[in-house]
Structure 1
Amino acid sequence: MNLQATELCSFVPSQDFELSKAFYAALGCELTWADDNLALFALAGSKFYVQRYYVKDWAENCMLHISVKDAAACHVAITEVLATGRFPTARVSAPKAEPYGALVTYVWDPCGVLLHLAQWDAE
């Protein structure tokens, strides 16, 4: 079978839809379309949907992997965003060298979705 696919987008949950939209915008994702229940964001040539839908177990097991040029710089920038207090349930961890070869800054969005900001040329 050949689906002749042209794009693949994932859906992520939000516990507070407006807060999640603001969080992803603060991280530099571009809001390209939204209605009352769904928001489409673009980042680095890819897209994902944030939806007004929340299931705790799903949110806390949902992950997005994002390749970045500098995981340490991402950590600093996100720490500054979180220091504003706008996103009290979001958090970030210091970059960690993973055994598969990436330096990764882990970020949890306002409802617990885990973002892996992975720098692949780390040594």
Structure 2
Amino acid sequence: MIDLRAQGLRTFIPSRDFALSKAFYAALGCALEWSDDNLALFNLAGSRFYLQRHYVQEWAENSMLQIAVQDAAQCFKDVSALIAEGSFPGARVAPPRHEPYGAWVAYVWDPCGVLLHLVQWDQT
């Protein structure tokens, strides 16, 4: 086995409207660390991801990010209120539901269809 001596892992996610998606992730509390005309680096709780100015529908609608949260129900309320403001067309949210793998999950779709799993793990 190769030891990559890895020091981190970052994913790239698409955007159909780069400026809109940047604003959406910032509104969710992701800190923008760097950006140019085609790529933005966000930080959320010490984890980072890239948002890119590139869109392929099949890719966007099959991309997912799992975000561990303390309270999925409160996240649902907060994201619902954000989306209701009307600033993020295409974004939507579903109420939390209990999943068999031991978590309450509120599902959020960003403006281009990327699915966010806001996961509150069951306490054991």
Identity %: 64
In 2, the alpha carbon distance for the partners of 1:37 and 1:19 equals 13
Which aligned pairs between 1:10-25 and structure 2 lie closer than 5 A?
Answer: 10-25=11-26
Is 1:119 aligned to 2:120, yes or no?
yes
SS in structure 2 opposite 1:89?
coil
Which residue of the partner structure matches residue 110 of structure 1?
111
Q: Would you say the 8 A contact 1:93–1:107 is kept in 2? A: yes
Is 1:90 aligned to 2:91, yes or no?
yes
Q: When you count strand as a share of all residues, which structure comes out higher?
A: 2
Q: Would you say the 8 A contact 1:96–1:105 is kept in 2? A: yes
User: For residues 54 and 75 of structure 1, do their structure 2 counterparts lie closer, same or farther at Cα, with a shift above 3 Å needed?
Assistant: same
In 1, the alpha carbon distance for the partners of 2:17 and 2:104 equals 30
In 2, the alpha carbon distance for the partners of 1:122 and 1:78 equals 23
Structure 2 length-normalised TM: 0.97
Structure 1 length-normalised TM: 0.97
Structure 2: where are the runs of 5+ without partners? none
How far off its partner does 1:44 sit?
1.1
In 1, the alpha carbon distance for the partners of 2:60 and 2:70 equals 26
| 1:4-24 Cα shifts (integer Å, max 9, x gaps) | 111100000000000000000
| 1:70-93 Cα shifts (integer Å, max 9, x gaps) | 000000000110011000100000
In 2, the alpha carbon distance for the partners of 1:47 and 1:55 equals 22
In 2, the alpha carbon distance for the partners of 1:38 and 1:71 equals 29
How many residues are aligned here?
123
How far off its partner does 1:121 sit?
2.4
Which residue of the partner structure matches residue 49 of structure 1?
50
In 2, the alpha carbon distance for the partners of 1:89 and 1:106 equals 14
In 2, the alpha carbon distance for the partners of 1:74 and 1:102 equals 14
